[in-house]
Chains A and B, each alone.
Chain A
């Protein structure tokens, strides 16, 4: 090891090593300036000076707030000034510390202006948009947590998409057949666990390549659920594929809070479950014996073995638990949302969840942030489609995928996964 060259504040070596260089910070600053220019030219000058946008800010259980009415041009220009200021700050100081926060603030300001522009002469239910962000983020949180569980023991789980499909399918079918929604949740968990176990079995016992096995599990689940949907669900649609869904339940008092109340505290069990799970996994991973051992296994399995930890047992347990979590997340697609199962309904969100995990640097709370970002892009896309802003809907549909690519290739910087992630372990 050698000498620290840069002053400590020049270098953010986050615990799991995200290195932010000054060049990257300047890049962010320049990007914000470009956004500000767009805001002035397109959202400011590009609209009639008297155009107004209305944001609805209240929903049923909460104490009502008056709708926010904004003159689009002036709001856009004011926000552009803020955005440009933030961008200039990044350019001038070029300090990594806090740069992501500044950058995030700039982008948020841009999105505000974008929404105002999109809703010009119209009404946007902002409240509902936030709520849908959370709803869209929920399966991603489950998926990302599943990824965290597996990869923090050293196994790459690229099969989340398949576990989603299996969980969604079995959740809908059992939920519908029994009429008991909780049975659907359990069924989803079991379905996920089965494919987690398959991944663990092939990868750990036989040393098969984890990424290949993962991809093939997705292919298998896609084929199987499509096959069974046509062969079994469709003929018996009424009994096997018509589950009811969990309806939102308010948490007394908290759901009365303006704006945030209905968003955070008037949701269904899947959302609450995700929140609880997030905290549990985060704390367990970093504060308990179980977490210390799992992380050791994912970083340096041989070292773990030499202190008497059974590497493969830890991996089996984590991968199967990860499957359970992904399976529950899968069930949320059906019984937590629209009810019936349809072929390929997860639309690649399992992979998006994986990207959220990477963006969150293999940490639950980090993954939450990323999942919210993706969730927002999904809900933004549907709201923009409704507002009919003139962007063709296929391009709006691309948004989450484009953001995912941006995230894995640039925004995160070089991230450091657990050192032994994806590496088969054998003793001799």
Chain B
């Protein structure tokens, strides 16, 4: 099936997300759509999939113009999509998720679960997508959830499969496995539209490449014609430094000492498992790992955001026990926290930039006295921070929701670094940002380190971990499987992310911890 997008234009208010975008995907090809965050890739795919309506332009399938009013229309025309945020119902089983909207039924609308199971087994065998139809999706590792998403499209006989940033949540080895699946899909005559901002992957898997920048097509090429640097400058519009410039670390005494830390989640499952870790003044410790292996919970336990009754072990800041301290006590003691999800945890979107900049010190001098806020001071302080942190806004009195993702993140960074900081905890500090903002945030983090601050960075982007970290701690299933220098090969760190203990590679993926056997369909063995 041949798919053409011609002149697609879509605006959200004043923002033009797609500007006359043309894209052609031939039958049986792997087509990569490359662009940085905010370039308009996801918007384009949502239009193709019938979730958004384009303002102008048309979609053609095998030369025939089609109009998709909703995803159902797109599915009927043979288009399948694996979304960046999985479109799976966590409390449903794999089978229920796969057949949803496409259910085999018996009389009176009763579900035919047996047939659903059989269909799934057949397809998963055909394409090597190993999943248990009866497992509950919320109990599956992300890699398996992704296979469920792919099966969902295949059950509906998708001829064009869109994969939106599919590798963000995978280990390098899982990524390799996914590429194998992609190639077998292409070999079966299906087309794959692979959306990413990672250059290495594009070069590894694409037949042809379309690069997007600021809502427009910035270029078309193939892996044979263009190398990494060329693709990067096409994507960003200028020469890009692919590395973070930093001097060697000069570590001082330990600032953060985590010992034997265990965290259980609300269901009583152990998510951080006897972790011990030191971060010293003037060094960056980067925590690597596939998302969902306890890094988030580790960061939360350090910043005090976990209920105390779910934490055991000890956390110390400059030798002082803070395990039982509240988040406020910790931040007053000098811990800064850049949370993973800035919109959910970092900012109050309807409030002004100035108010968001004092969210942690609103009741302190000079912003308040005797329970009364000094609004003039808050405003003036906000205006100063705009300049100091290069936040692009005409006034600090605007709602923070009017800012771009990059500038929103700068607001969080500005707030956290505006008080005396001894330890900076930064979770996914550059997720979803454009290259300019990424560079800025990285520079700021390195500057904090050079000032003598201890920095704990959590990131699922291996590139970021290797660029920023002075030491790299790899987490797998709640445990730190090893702490290695950032010069370690990607392949080895990848193996560690998949749970292979450093120096004990023969145990690859075997001997899961006790109780693991209960998790049906646990299929993420590398």
Contact = CB atoms under 8 A, between A and B. Distances in A.
A, B co-complexed: yes
Interface of A: 1-8, 10-11, 13, 15-17, 19, 21, 287-290, 292-293, 295-296, 299-300, 302-310, 414, 419, 427-428
B425 interface: no
Contact of A303 (B76, B88, B513): B88
A308 B110 CA distance: 19
Contacts of B292: 1-2
A47 to B, nearest CB: 44
15 contacts: A2-B265, A2-B292, A3-B513, A16-B91, A288-B111, A289-B103, A293-B100, A295-B89, A296-B89, A305-B51, A306-B87, A307-B72, A307-B101, A307-B102, A308-B102
B109 A290 contact: yes
A4 B87 contact: no
Contact of A1 (B92, B139, B152): B139
A287 B111 contact: yes
B72 A19 contact: no
A287 B110 contact: yes
Contacts of B33: none
A310 to B, nearest CB: 7
Given A296-B92, A300-B88, A306-B51, A5 B83 contact: no
B331 to A, nearest CB: 27
Contact of B91 (A1, A6, A290, A299): A299
Given A299-B91, A306-B49, A309-B100, A2 B478 contact: yes
Interface in B473-526: 477-478, 513-516, 518-519
Given A5-B270, A308-B71, A300 B89 contact: yes
Nearest to A299: B89
A4 B519 contact: yes
Among A17, A300, A306, the most chain B Cβ lie within 10 Å of the Cβ of A306
Contacts of B478: 2-3
Interface in B96-114: 96-97, 100-103, 105, 108-111
Nearest to B513: A3
4 closest A-B pairs by beta carbon, nearest first, are A308-B72, A307-B101, A4-B515, A303-B87
Interface SS of A by simple majority: loop
Interface residues of B, number: 55
A1 B267 CA distance: 11
A1 B522 CA distance: 10
Contacts of B152: 307
B269 A289 contact: no
B268 A11 contact: yes
Among B100, B108, B519, the most chain A Cβ lie within 10 Å of the Cβ of B100
Contacts of A300: 87-90
A302 B111 CA distance: 22
Contacts of B109: 288-290
A303 B145 CA distance: 13
Interface in B139-174: 139-141, 152
A294 to B, nearest CB: 11
B81 interface: yes
A306 B515 contact: no
A292 B102 CA distance: 11
Contacts of A305: 51, 70-71
Contacts of B96: 292
Nearest to A287: B110
A270 B37 CA distance: 59
A8 B110 CA distance: 32
Contacts of A428: 12, 51-52
B266 interface: yes
Contacts of B108: 288
B477 A2 contact: yes
B507 to A, nearest CB: 16
B269 A4 contact: yes
B294 interface: yes
A308 to B, nearest CB: 3
A3 B270 contact: yes
A7 to B, nearest CB: 7
